[in-house]
Amino acid sequence: MDSILQLMHGFTVALQPMNIMWVTIGGVLGTIIGMLPGLGPATGVAVLLPLTFSMGPVAALITMGGVYYGAMYGGSRASILLNTPGDGAAVAATFDGYPMTKQGRAEAALAISAIASFIGGVIATVFMVLVSVPVARFAIKFGAAEYFQLYVFALAATASMNKGNRVKGFIAMIIGLMIATIGIDAQSGVKRFTFGILELQSGIDFLIVIIAIFALGEVFKSFKNIREGKANIQKDFGKIWISRKEWKRSVLPILRSAPLGFFIGALPGAGGTMASLMSYNNERQLSKHPEEFGEGAIEGLAAPESANNAASVGAMIPMLTLGIPGSGTTAVMMGALMILGLKPGPLLFQQQPTIIWGLIASMFLGNIILAIVNIPLAGGLVRVLSVPPKILYPIVLGLSFVGAYAISYSVMDFYILLIFGVLGYLMGKAKIPTSPLILAVIVGNNMEQSFRRAFTISDGTLGIFFSSPICIVLFALTIISVGYPLVKSAILAAKNQS
Amino acid sequence: MKQPSLQMTDAQRSSTIAAVFCITLGVIYCIMTSLLPQAAVGMPNAPKVFPYALGFSLTGLGIGLLIQQILSIRQNSPKTEVKEKSETVTVDYHTKQILLTVANGVLYALLFKKLGYVLSTTLFLGLELFLFNGKGKWKVVLAVSVIFSLFIYILFNKLLGVYLPMMPVVGF
H, E, C per residue of A420-481: HHHHHHHHHHCCCCCHHHHHHHHHHHHHHHHHHHHHHHCCCCHHHHHCCHHHHHHHHHHHHH
> What's residue A52's pLDDT?
84
Residue A183 has pLDDT above 70, yes or no: yes
> What's residue A116's pLDDT?
93
CA pseudo-torsion sign A311, A313, A314, A318: positive
Residue A263 has pLDDT above 80, yes or no: yes
Distance CA A255, CA A454 (A): 44
Give me the long-range contacts of A450-457 (CB less than 8 A, separation at least 24). A450/A144, A450/A145, A450/A147, A450/A148, A450/A151, A451/A144, A451/A148, A451/B50, A452/A187, A452/B46, A452/B49, A452/B50, A453/A144, A454/A143, A454/A144, A454/A145, A454/A148, A456/B42, A457/A143, A457/A144, A457/A145
> What's residue A90's pLDDT?
83
Instruction: Compute the average pLDDT of residues A268-274.
Output: 74
Residue A30 has pLDDT above 60, yes or no: yes
Share of chain A above pLDDT 90, in %: 22
Phi–psi pair at A191, nearest 5 degrees: -80, 125
Residue A434 has pLDDT above 80, yes or no: yes
Residue A219 has pLDDT above 90, yes or no: no
Residue A273 has pLDDT above 90, yes or no: no
> What's residue A487's pLDDT?
84
> What's residue A226's pLDDT?
63
Distance CA A41, CA A62 (A): 15
Tell me the three state secondary structure of residue A195: coil
> What's residue B57's pLDDT?
95
Q: Which residues pair with A183 in a beta bridge?
A: A192
Residue A196 has pLDDT above 70, yes or no: yes
Instruction: Compute the average pLDDT of residues B20-37.
Output: 94
Least confident of A88-92, A425-429, A465-469: A88-92
Give me the long-range contacts of A233-238 (CB less than 8 A, separation at least 24). A233/A81, A233/A82, A233/A382, A233/A385, A233/A386, A234/A81, A234/A101, A234/A106, A234/A382, A235/A379, A235/A382, A235/A383, A235/A386, A236/A379, A237/A106, A237/A107, A237/A110, A237/A378, A237/A379, A238/A107
Specify the DSSP class assigned to residue A409.
S
Specify the DSSP class assigned to residue A54.
T
Phi-psi region of B162 (alpha: psi -120 to 50; beta: other; left: phi over 0): beta
Distance CA A98, CA A434 (A): 28
pTM of the shown model: 0.85
> What's residue B83's pLDDT?
46
**Does the distance separating the beta carbons of A425 and B40 come in below 8 Å?**
no
Distance from CA of A242 to the nearest CA of B (A): 39
Closest alpha carbon to A35 in B170, A27, A422? A27
Which of residues 428 through 457 in chain A touch B, CB cutoff 8 A?
429-432, 448, 451-452, 456
List helix spans (H) across A103-216.
106-139, 144-160, 166-180, 206-211
Task: With beta carbons under 8 A apart, name residues in chain B contacting A155.
Answer: none
**Does the distance separating the beta carbons of B133 and A391 come in below 8 Å?**
yes
Distance CA A333, CA A443 (A): 14
Least confident of A59-73, A235-249, A457-471: A235-249
Instruction: Compute the average pLDDT of residues B107-123.
Output: 94
Please provide the average confidence, as pLDDT, over all residues in chain B: 84
State the ipTM, two decimals.
Answer: 0.88
CA pseudo-torsion sign A67, A73, A75, A78: negative
Residues in Cβ contact with A1 at an 8 Å cutoff, skipping those fewer than 6 apart? none
Higher local confidence (pLDDT), A275 or B86: A275
Task: With beta carbons under 8 A apart, name residues in chain A contacting B164.
Answer: 402, 405
> For A50, which of B54, B121, B162 is closest by C-beta distance?
B162
**Does the distance separating the beta carbons of A168 and B18 come in below 8 Å?**
yes
Give the confidence band of B43 by pLDDT, cuts at 50, 70, 90. Answer: confident
Share of chain B above pLDDT 70, in %: 84
> What's residue A173's pLDDT?
94
User: How confident is the model over B140-151, as pLDDT tens digits?
Assistant: 899 999 999 999
Of A283-292, B23-32, B94-103, which one has max mean pLDDT? Answer: B23-32
Distance from CA of B23 to the nearest CA of A (A): 10
**Does the distance separating the beta carbons of A226 and B132 come in below 8 Å?**
yes
User: How confident is the model over A221-234, as pLDDT tens digits?
Assistant: 877 766 554 456 66
Distance CA A203, CA B20 (A): 27
Q: Which residues pair with A341 in a beta bridge?
A: none
Dmax (CA) for chain A in angstroms is 71
> What's residue B102's pLDDT?
95
> What's residue A230's pLDDT?
47
| B115-134 CB burial, b ≥16 within 10 A, e <16 | bbbbbbbbbbbbbbbbbbbe
Tell me the three state secondary structure of residue B1: coil
Phi–psi pair at A294, nearest 5 degrees: 90, -10
**Does the distance separating the beta carbons of B94 and A448 come in below 8 Å?**
no
Residue A283: how many CB atoms within 10 A of its CB? 26
**Residue A418's closest chain B neighbor by CA?**
B102
Domain boundaries, chain A: 2-497
Tell me the three state secondary structure of residue A187: coil
> What's residue B86's pLDDT?
46
Task: With beta carbons under 8 A apart, name residues in chain A contacting B64.
Answer: 167
Please provide the average confidence, as pLDDT, over all residues in chain A: 86
Task: With beta carbons under 8 A apart, name residues in chain A contacting B61.
Answer: 167, 170-171, 174
CB A265 within 8 A of CB A329: no
Share of chain B above pLDDT 90, in %: 48
Distance CA A39, CA A72 (A): 10
Instruction: Compute the average pLDDT of residues A448-454.
Output: 91
Distance CA A23, CA A60 (A): 9
User: How confident is the model over A127-157, as pLDDT tens digits?
Assistant: 988 888 888 888 888 889 999 999 999 898 8
CA distances from B163 to A48, A198, B73, B118 (A): 16, 22, 54, 12
Q: Which residues pair with A192 in a beta bridge?
A: A183
Residue A303 has pLDDT above 90, yes or no: yes
Instruction: Compute the average pLDDT of residues A59-86.
Output: 84
Distance CA B33, CA B51 (A): 6
Instruction: Compute the average pLDDT of residues A189-205.
Output: 89
Q: Which residues pair with A191 in a beta bridge?
A: A184
Closest alpha carbon to A250 in A85, A436, A120, A101? A120
List helix spans (H) across A182-327.
206-211, 217-225, 244-266, 271-286, 298-314, 316-322
User: How confident is the model over A344-390, as pLDDT tens digits?
Assistant: 888 888 888 888 888 888 888 888 888 887 777 767 766 767 777 78
The C-alpha torsion from A29 through A34 and A40 to A44, rounded to 10°, is: -10
Distance CA B157, CA B164 (A): 7
Give the confidence band of B90 by pLDDT, cuts at 50, 70, 90. Answer: low
CB B150 within 8 A of CB B172: no
Distance CA B172, CA B116 (A): 8
